[in-house]
Copies of this chain bind each other. A is one copy, B any other.
Amino acid sequence: MKSTLSGTSVIGYARGTGSTAAGQAVHAASGAKLEPVYLSATPEEVDQAIDLAAAAFPAYSALSGKERGAFLRAIAEQIEGVVDDIAERGVMETGLPDARLRGETVRTTGQLRLFAALIEEGSWVDARIEKAQPERQPLPKADIRSMLRPLGPVAVFCASNFPMAFSVAGGDTAAALAAGCPVVVVAHHAHPGVAEIVAQAVMRAAVVTNMPEGVFSLLYGGGRAVGVPVVQHPVIQAVGFTGSRSGGTALMKAAASRPQPIPVYAEMSSVNPVVILPGALERGEAALAEAFFNSLTLGVGQFCTNPGLIFLPEGSGFVFLDRLKQLVGTSMPGVMLSEGIAKAYVDAVEAFAGTPGVETIARSAAPNGNGPGAAAVFSVSVRRFLEEDLLQGEMFGPAALIVRGTLEEIAATIPELEGQLTATIHGTEAELTAHSSLVQSLANKAGRVIFNGFPTGVEVCHAMVHGGPYPSTSDGRSTSVGTMSIHRFVRAVCYQSFPDSCLAPELQDGNPLGIWRMVDGELGR
């Protein structure tokens, strides 16, 4: 491994010393402890990182899109330079396969370059110009010009299930840095080594591209010692988080109790309902079962878009269920991300299995087929589903609940669901047309509605919405994937009667950046 792991926080361009041990990574497959010991940032180091971020904000936010874009591209290059280290350490820390670590690294560098391209082009700032009308009656109209501006320093929490794409230089960090916000990252205890490798890459990129010190820091330490103090620090202006509902709601409370409340973008839990209409079964039940099984068990079911809830019309789908039993029965349990996740999964599966009215459809027949990472499928009636709040909960892992009822009952159940990241419907085009109110009802509950597909696999693009009503996220108006996610870290500011030379280039008369703008209500460039 090229990278040296020191076990300390990255504070601007320097390294922390730490005080108490925050912990050691654990080899996911063997349970052995991995060197080095990671040291929790001291309260002084937390303040230092955040003060540096505050100091960096004026200069960093004033950089052009091209300059910030160069920084993002440099981060991508630096990460590519250590991809072998990421894969080596990542496999040990997370139990994810080498190909997944490398694939996630490609996604991470792709995200950074997508945001670089977005801000280099520049139109994302939604520039709006209303020219003065000094002769207007009864009152003159002043010159007013608005654009999106960064909120200020942002705290980003690494996710356990995405050591790269939602961690140190993942989607939240890329969006915040693109917006012009310095970022203070809080590492996840499950993969501190990958975090350190990536943080060093970011630090090198910041130096190479002459970014102000403090544009990026990485802190090690637990929620109480580091996480909550970071969220409650007056300098921090927004929070990005991907994780459990308990973790997300704790951050929401911490942010709401500040003298100045700030937005928290927590992507939490989702069971991703899938509605199967008769036409989908007619098309081929076995193939449908295979596609569902593949989505359910992808990454040992540890995706926020894992399809955990299937609505299947009563009295049909027997071949679908048979094929599913076969697939699940012969499946082998996978290694889960951490001991905590593995334990929570086993507990959730047992709780579902033990709920009156819940029938076990399929479990792995492997020796450890009731253990962590083993697939499981249950079934329940719509009536019982609606009676038991527990059954709307998430089994984070490769387990799903099939809810049986008439199509009318299924349609009536959708409005009772909690908010979701995704909702899926399988059927024919004619059925989709006939059930347009069901589609609308699914759209009211989710950020992404999928036809004849499965929700795992989130495309990083301009149209992606990876968000949804509470509790799938803390703020249903946001997405944490794709270029729209930059909007989480900005707000519009308007400038009234400013001389042209004192305006940002985005708002100057001559449109020197050649961006798309709305001028007196008309879009153009």
Contact = CB atoms under 8 A, between A and B. Distances in A.
Interface of A: 58, 61-62, 123, 128-130, 139, 141-142, 144-146, 149, 151-152, 252, 256, 260-263, 418-419, 429, 432-433, 436-437, 439-441, 443-444, 446-453, 457, 459, 461-465, 467, 469-471, 474-479, 484, 490-499, 501-502, 516, 518, 521, 523
Top 7 nearest A-B pairs by Cβ distance?
A128-B463, A465-B494, A146-B463, A450-B496, A477-B491, A130-B463, A429-B499
Contacts of A518: 462-463
A130 B459 contact: yes
A62 B440 contact: yes
A145 B497 CA distance: 38
B491 A447 contact: yes
Contacts of A145: 463
A146 B474 contact: no
Contact of A451 (B149, B478, B495): B495
B146 A443 contact: no
A44 to B, nearest CB: 22
A130 B437 contact: no
A441 B141 CA distance: 26
A498 B448 contact: no
Given A144-B461, A429-B501, A496 B444 contact: no
B128 A502 contact: no
A58 B414 CA distance: 14
B497 A450 contact: yes
Contacts of A128: 462-463, 484
9 contacts: A61-B440, A144-B461, A149-B443, A260-B469, A260-B470, A451-B499, A452-B497, A453-B497, A462-B521
B448 A494 contact: yes
Given A444-B152, A449-B493, A493-B446, A129 B502 contact: no
A292 B429 CA distance: 64
Contacts of A493: 443, 446-449, 465
Contacts of A497: 450-453
A502 B429 contact: yes
Contacts of A494: 447-449, 463-465
Contact of A496 (B433, B437, B440, B449): B449
A165 B441 CA distance: 33
B502 A439 contact: yes
Nearest to A474: B261
